Every structure is written in structure tokens, then in C-alpha cells.
Amino acid sequence: MNNGKVALVFGGSRGIGAAIVQRLARDGHAVAFTYVSREDRARALVATVEQDGSRALAIHADSADPAAITAAVDETVNAFGRLDVVVVNAGVLRLGNIDGYQLEDLDQTLAVNVRGVFLAIQAAVARMGEGGRVITIGSNTAVRSGHVGSSVYAMSKAAVATMVQNLALDLAPRQITINNIQPGPTLTDMTAELAEATRKFVPLNRLGQPDEIASLASWLAGKQAGYMTGSSLTIDGGFVA
């Protein structure tokens, strides 16, 4: 199925991002995605999507690099002719108590998790037509982390939630919606150890699966979600309930 629409997923080669790439492809989108490392995984994901009859494009781009962000958007539009959906999933996780937290970790977290998110949105909506969809992947730590050493990461995700709420006003005249998904403990290679340690605090007594986050992204990218904008949707098994 090809619906004629194009999506770009920043940070799409693994975990939640890869699940979103595959789900949007199944929904009929041509999908481009960025990656920083593990080119083998990126190529394997392209092959998987293409085997299912959809189009995919892997783009090497560091979300800490403003030029790379803009180039990724341009490459997507050049390859597929348009841009309808952008998902900003790229992020870094640098944990540490304030007593020993390193400045380079603070700078990297803010560069990718806050500045990179804003710049990705800015670059994408510049090439997006009326009625587009912007989706950010935040974290339920914006509401409550429950972990010592998570203050900087939680701060960055709270910034994304506030950013989305206010960017909704900027984008509303163009009928572009923007919403933020806040996953809780989810089983991915980046967060597996931390997520498993948190599982006992999840009322549903299990970890989330990347496909569950991707399903919510799919809905937000569709026409049924056209009246929702500026919202943060927490999907965490009741962790912050």
C-alpha cells in the first residue's frame, strides 16, 4: 500500500525509531530515517522495509550537527518529492548524580535532546505543506523519573514537552499538528538495563514494546488525529499514574 505520503524519522535505525519506521512504511509512507552509528543496522532496516514493498532511505546524520539536520530534510525531499510527517526520536541518555556530572555530558544531552529537536522541527516544517504532522519522542521522566542521576535527562525531556505545547501555536495556522509521545520503561538496546530495573514500579508489571510506541505514532500521523495538537501523551504502563 502506498498512500503517497513521505515521513522522516530522526533516529530511526534501532529500538523505538526502527519500530516507527516499519510501522509508517506499513501504513503506506515512503520513509527516510537518520542514523549516527551502526550502518549495518540502517542498511538492514532499509532492506526489511523494501522487502515489504515500501520505500526507505537511510541518511547518516548526527542530530547534534545543525547542518546535518537540514541536509537530512533536504535529502528526504529530493529523494521522495515531499515531506508530510516528521518524527524526532533521536536522543542520548547520559545518567549521573549532580556531584559528578560531567559538563560534556550536559552539553551533549542539551545539544541532541533539546537543540537538535528544535532544529529538526524547524527544518522539517520549512519543507512541509499544510496539514503535516510533527511527532516528538519524549519520555515519562518529564513527569517523574524515580531514579537518582536522571535529572539532566528528565530536564531535557520536560523541555521537549513544553516546546511542543508552544510550537503548536506557531504551526496551527498551517494546519500542522505537533504532539509529543512520552514512553515509559520500554525494552530497547539503549535502555534495557534501566528499563528492567524499573519494571517492578510499573503497575502493569511489564516493559513497553517498541511496537506499542510505534502504534501511537502511527495514529498521530494519521488523519484521525487531526484535531489533536500541543499534547504530550504518556504511554508507560501506569508508571506516573
Provide the pairing of β-strand 232-235 with 30-35. unpaired
Task: List residues with catalytic annotation.
Answer: 153
Contacts of 171 (CB under 8 A, 6+ apart): 125, 134, 177, 178, 229
- Report the chain's C-alpha Rg in angstroms: 17
Q: Is the dihedral of CA 69, 74, 75, 76 positive or negative?
A: positive
Report the alpha-carbon distance of residue 138 to residue 117 in Å, rounded.
10
Contact (CB, 8 A) for 203 and 237: yes
Q: Closest Cα partner for 217 from 116, 127, 132, 136?
A: 136
